[in-house]
Amino acid sequence: MAPSFKWWGKESHRGTPVVVKMENPKWSMVELEGPSDEDFIIEDESNNNRENKGRGKNAKQLTWVLLLKAHKAAGCLASVAPALLGLVSAVKRRVAAGRTDADADSVGGGGREKEDPTVKSRFYSFIKVFLFVSLMLLCFEVAAYFKGWHFEAPRFWGSSFGVRGVFDWVYSMWVFVRVEYLAPPLQFLANVCIVLFIVQSLDRLVLCLGCFWIRFKKIKSVPKGGDVDLESGEKGFFPMVLVQIPMCNEREVYQQSIGAVCNLDWPKSKLLIQVLDDSDDITTQSLIREEVEKWQKEGVNIVYRHRVIRTGYKAGNLKSAMNCSYVKDYEFVSIFDADFQPTPDFLKRTVPHFKDNDELGLVQARWSFVNKDENLLTRLQNINLAFHFEVEQQVNGVFINFFGFNGTAGVWRIKALEDAGGWLERTTVEDMDIAVRAHLHGWKFIFLNDVECQCELPESYEAYRKQQHRWHSGPMQLFRLCLPDIIRSKISVWKKFNMIFLFFLLRKLILPFYSFTLFCIILPMTMFVPEAELPALVVCYIPATMSLLSILPAPKSFPFIVPYLLFENTMSVTKFNAMISGLFQLGSAYEWVVTKKSGRSSEGDLVSLIEKGPKHHQRGSSAPDLTEIKEEIQLQEKKAASKKKHNRIYMKELALAFLLLTASARSLLSAQGIHFYFLLFQGISFLLVGLDLIGEQVD
Distances (CA, A) of 630 to 157, 292, 641: 82, 19, 17
Q: Where are the alpha helices (DSSP H) in 2-113?
A: 47-97, 101-107
Question: Distance between CA atoms of 77 and 73, rounded to whole angstroms?
Answer: 6
Pairing of strands 332-335, 410-413: antiparallel
Distances (CA, A) of 567 to 459, 461, 547, 685: 15, 11, 11, 7
CA 181, 186, 188 angle in degrees (round to 5)? Answer: 110
Question: Distance between CA atoms of 391 and 214, rounded to whole angstroms?
Answer: 10
Handedness of CA 223, 228, 233, 238 (dihedral sign): positive
DSSP letter at 691? T
* H or E element in which residue 379 lies: helix 376-387
**CB of 476 closer than 8 Å to CB of 586:** no
Question: Distance between CA atoms of 467 and 594, rounded to whole angstroms?
Answer: 8
Considering just the CA atoms, what is the radius of gyration of the chain in Å?
31
Relative orientation angle of helices 313-322 and 430-440, to the nearest 10 degrees:
60
* H or E element in which residue 305 lies: strand 302-306
Which residues form the catalytic set?
278, 431
Instruction: Show the 3-state SS of 436-473.
Output: HHHHHCCCEEEEEEEEEEEECCCCEHHHHHHHHHHHHH
Instruction: Show the 3-state SS of 643-683.
Output: CCCECEECHHHHHHHHHHHHHHHHHHHCCCHHHHHHHHHHH
Helix (H, G, I), strand (E, B) or coil at 277: strand
Question: Distance between CA atoms of 10 and 6, rounded to whole angstroms?
Answer: 7
**CB of 254 closer than 8 Å to CB of 288:** yes
CA atoms within 13 A on the CB side of 476: 26
Question: Distance between CA atoms of 421 and 433, rounded to whole angstroms?
Answer: 10
